[in-house]
Amino acid sequence: MNGPDHKTSLEPKELKAMVLAIRNIEIALGSNKKKPSPSESVNINVVRKSIVANQDIKKGDLLTDKNITVKRPGNGINPMKWDEVIGSTALKNYNADELI
């Protein structure tokens, strides 16, 4: 039947193809949740950083921005905890470049 919406209507096969195309686009867009891909996960410890001593620190010394820094690898304390570490007391002796 001809009508005013005839030109915008789809046949069943065309509708199926359109739905499949939309589903492919949804897959291509991915998730809105941010997480590392499997290929990135392999390198996490290599590319992330940790809080380390930038000089020798004695047990009982105050940890300050003068005696600690951030370096690789990322298997120590995350730099996001910097403010929690600053002002705390060293629980042991640390050598320069040692993970805190």
Give the number of residues written for the chain.
Answer: 100
Mean pLDDT of 65-73: 95
Q: Is residue 31 part of a domain?
A: no
Quickly tell me which residue has 């300050």 as its tokens. 64
If one counts the domains in the chain, the total is 1
Domain contains 37: no
In a domain, 13, yes or no: no
Query: Which pLDDT value is given to residue 1?
Result: 63
The average pLDDT across 2-27 equals: 90
Residue 90 belongs to a domain:
yes
Q: Does the pLDDT value for residue 71 go beyond 90?
A: yes
| Whether 44 contacts 74, CB under 8 Å | yes
What pLDDT digit, counting tens, does each position of 35-50 carry?
Answer: 888 888 888 878 899 9
Residue 84 falls within a domain, yes or no? yes
Domain harbouring 87, CATH code:
3.90.1210.10
Provide the domain limits for residue 52.
48-100
Distance, in Å, from the CA atom of 18 to the CA atom of 10, rounded to the nearest integer, reads 9
